[in-house]
Amino acid sequence: FGKGIPNGRRIGWTRRDEFGVVSSTIDQMLDAIDSEHQALVQRNEHMRALLAASPDLIIVIDREGTLTDISNHSRGSLTGLFPSLKVGDSIRQTERIPPEAIDAFLRRAAEVLDTDRIQIFESGIRQARGGLLWAELRMVRLADNRVLVMIRDVSARHRAQHERARIEEKMAQLQKTESLGVLARGMAHDFNNILTAMLGNVDVSLHEPLTPAAREAVENIRLAMIRASGLTRQMLSYAGQGTFTFEITDLNALLRDLVSLMQRSITPQAEIVLAFGDRVPLVEADATQIWQVVMNLLINASDAMASLSGTITLATAHAVPTAAEIEPYLSTAPLQPGDYAMIEVSDTGHGMDKRTIERIYDPFFTTKAMGRGLGLSACLGIVRAHNGGISVASKSGEGTRFRVLLPAARDREGRVRFPGEASGVSAPVPSPGAPSVPLPAASAARAGSRGAILVADDDAAILKLVGIILAKSGFSVIAAESGEEALRLFNKDPQRIRLALVDATLNNGLSGSEVCVALHLRNPRLPTIIMSGFREDDVGLDFTEASFNAFLPKPFMSAELLAVVDKACRIAGHNPADYGRGGDPHGALL
């Protein structure tokens, strides 16, 4: 056979006969087989490299769950699902996955074998030693009746989806709160306009001769109107637009006084437990409004305990929450980790279900037969106005816990302030009932003797009311139902007008701010009063280019209107006593 078969791969027959033809053919076949073998080796190496680079755990099993191949089981986040298994073992032998999860896994594998369809699904694998692993599984039937399974850890994706859903839910809640706040703000403004006419006319009636019975009836109407105006204040509080006076406040001192006054208002079935922290930071707050927040929370807790015996706990603490701990709090802007004073009100009452919790801050939503549904709405608005946050945790039958976070007050160096460490600290305690505003005595001044006041308001009832009050005090009134009419009347006789009273939200034409700008261009010393059903801070945003001397919130009574007129004149540098003496408080400017 000539040179033989080198390396066992060639026949090596060199003669040109029949054996030579056969030998050459066999050599060509061996070359082809060798090439295919090398290509197969390269493909296998390439495939192994791809598998090694894949983050997936790859296993091959039969119908019974016997492991026939495994790849990448010793690295990555999937390490430990099958830590000690080897080829030939059953995946049921793993201790890391609960048996019920293995059963579901094998049912899916059997379905792939029976239908020859690829299965792609996600599963949350609650591992036997704790922890939830979210995995994406792809199952494919192999030709030899086995199942190839690719397992990919998608826990990070699930966390991202959960976080996105959480943010979207919170944004939806904030948008709903903002929308309802705009609605409440508009309702409060319109309601204040109506109350202004009603309350003012009642106030005027009390200055007229009345029988004792009639006077008592009118006084009762006045008190009812004052209570109604309280509803508008609550609606503005929900919108975070109430009137606030911020002072450095000691919460512990404030809340001790509150509890002592509210003892009789709490159901006798409940025991009040106080758990005040030793070092609770001072806060910059409106004590009256914080009083209102805690009072509403205590009343709600008491109502939840009406037919149960248990405890209501009022606690304070110095809180330094992490980003995760602060996340559940509702606030205007996302709260940041840091130092806060925390107020907690918890009860062991009936608790609330999830649907109730989702609506508790909505204006006019209530679960009480006699409730108005504004208590928690106002609480949310007040807390937001303090740049704080409020959270609730509750389950039906397990009680409820509200927590309020208020930013800690800081000194000039940025250090947290605590009671007893600085001067000027106060804990003003509000009166539980606001005193009534005294009504002015009837003026003996001759109508018009003190000059004319230009009044601009698109509500005819308010124009008439203001005219009556001012006329009784010796003024004449030039009434305008629009901004254009106000300027036309002013230009007609500017020397006669001593003061302007303008509604901030004039409709149908020039706005209140535009009227003020035009008036001051004609007479820079003209005293100007702005009146509105909105709060002064919000009105001021529309008056950046216009100035006014005083603000009159609606609704108002006679004494309040006349006091603001006096204030505006003094701020403008005029003596109200000069009005009516024949002098011209504007001097040569008119």
Verify cis geometry, omega within 30 degrees of 0, for the bond prior to 212: no
124-125-127 Cα angle (round to 5): 145
Token pair for residue 231?
Answer: 């509803």
What pLDDT tens digit does each residue of the chain (590 aa) get?
444 455 555 556 666 667 777 777 887 888 888 888 888 888 877 767 766 667 778 889 999 999 888 876 555 556 556 666 788 889 888 777 778 888 888 999 999 999 999 999 888 776 656 667 788 899 999 988 999 998 888 888 888 888 888 777 777 766 766 666 666 667 777 777 788 878 878 888 887 888 888 888 888 888 877 777 766 766 666 566 666 778 999 999 999 888 877 777 787 888 889 999 999 999 999 888 898 899 889 988 888 887 778 899 999 999 999 988 998 898 878 899 999 999 999 999 888 888 888 888 876 677 765 555 567 877 888 898 899 999 999 988 889 999 999 999 999 899 999 998 755 554 444 443 333 334 344 344 555 567 899 999 988 888 988 988 898 888 889 999 999 999 999 999 888 898 999 998 887 788 888 898 899 888 888 888 989 887 777 666 566 666 788 888 888 888 889 999 988 888 766 655 555 444 444 432 22
With beta carbons less than 8 A apart as the criterion, state whether 353 and 170 touch: no
134: enclosing H helix or E strand: strand 132-141
68: enclosing H helix or E strand: strand 67-71
Q: What confidence score (pLDDT) does residue 442 get?
A: 39
First to last CA, the chain: 136
Among 505, 510, 518, 495, CA closest to 462: 505
Q: Are strands 497-503 and 452-456 parallel, antiparallel or unpaired?
A: parallel
Distance, in Å, from the CA atom of 230 to the CA atom of 162, rounded to the nearest integer, reads: 42
Q: What ranges in 400-550 are assigned the alpha helix state H?
A: 460-472, 483-492, 512-522, 536-541
Running DSSP on this structure, what letter comes out for residue 534?
A: S
Running DSSP on this structure, what letter comes out for residue 469?
A: H
Token pair for residue 141?
Answer: 């039937």
With beta carbons less than 8 A apart as the criterion, state whether 273 and 312 touch: yes
Whether 248-407 and 452-589 share one fold: the answer is no
Among 528, 475, 314, CA closest to 401: 314
Upper half-sphere CA count for residue 75 (Cβ side, 13 Å): 7
Distance, in Å, from the CA atom of 569 to the CA atom of 575, rounded to the nearest integer, reads: 7
Left (φ > 0), alpha (ψ -120 to 50) or beta: where does 76 sit?
left
Distance, in Å, from the CA atom of 451 to the CA atom of 463, rounded to the nearest integer, reads: 17
For the 248-407 domain, the top CATH level (class) is alpha beta
Q: What confidence score (pLDDT) does residue 544 get?
A: 61
With beta carbons less than 8 A apart as the criterion, state whether 497 and 452 touch: yes
Token pair for residue 574?
Answer: 């005029």
273: enclosing H helix or E strand: strand 270-275
For the 452-589 domain, the top CATH level (class) is alpha beta
Helix, strand, or coil (residue 400): strand
Give the chain's largest Cα–Cα span: 149
Token pair for residue 285?
Answer: 């707050």
Distance, in Å, from the CA atom of 83 to the CA atom of 72, rounded to the nearest integer, reads: 11
300: enclosing H helix or E strand: helix 287-304
Which phi and psi angles does 326 have, rounded to 5°?
A: -90, -10
Q: Please enumerate in sequence order all residues whose Cβ is within 8 A of that of 419, keeping only pairs 6 or more positions apart, or say none.
A: 250, 252, 253, 280, 282, 425
| Residue showing tokens 């036997």 | 128
Q: DSSP for 153-217?
A: E-HHHHHHHHHHHHHHHHHHHHHHHHHHHHHHHHHHHHHHHHHHHHHHHHHHHTTS---HHHHHH
Upper half-sphere CA count for residue 562 (Cβ side, 13 Å): 23
> Other C-beta atoms within 10 Å of 251: how many?
26
How long, in residues, is the chain?
Answer: 590
What's this model's pTM, rounded to 2 decimal places? Answer: 0.49
Q: What confidence score (pLDDT) does residue 341 get?
A: 97
> Other C-beta atoms within 10 Å of 279: how many?
12
Helix, strand, or coil (residue 455): strand
With beta carbons less than 8 A apart as the criterion, state whether 327 and 416 touch: no
Q: 496 exposed, middle or buried (CB, 10 Å; 0-12, 13-18, 19+)?
A: middle
Q: Please enumerate in sequence order all residues whose Cβ is within 8 A of that of 194, keeping only pairs 6 or more positions apart, or say none.
A: none
> Other C-beta atoms within 10 Å of 309: how many?
11
Distance, in Å, from the CA atom of 537 to the CA atom of 143, rounded to the nearest integer, reads: 77
Whether the CA torsion 190, 191, 196, 197 is positive or negative: it is positive
519-521-526 Cα angle (round to 5): 50
| One CATH from 3.30.450.20, 3.40.50.720, 2.30.42.10, 3.50.50.60 for 57-153 | 3.30.450.20
Whether the CA torsion 225, 229, 234, 238 is positive or negative: it is positive
Show the beta-strand stretches assigned E in 349-412.
389-395, 399-407
User: Would you kindly state where each structural domain of the chain is located, as residue ranges?
Assistant: 6-53, 57-153, 248-407, 452-589
Distance, in Å, from the CA atom of 341 to the CA atom of 419, rounded to the nearest integer, reads: 12
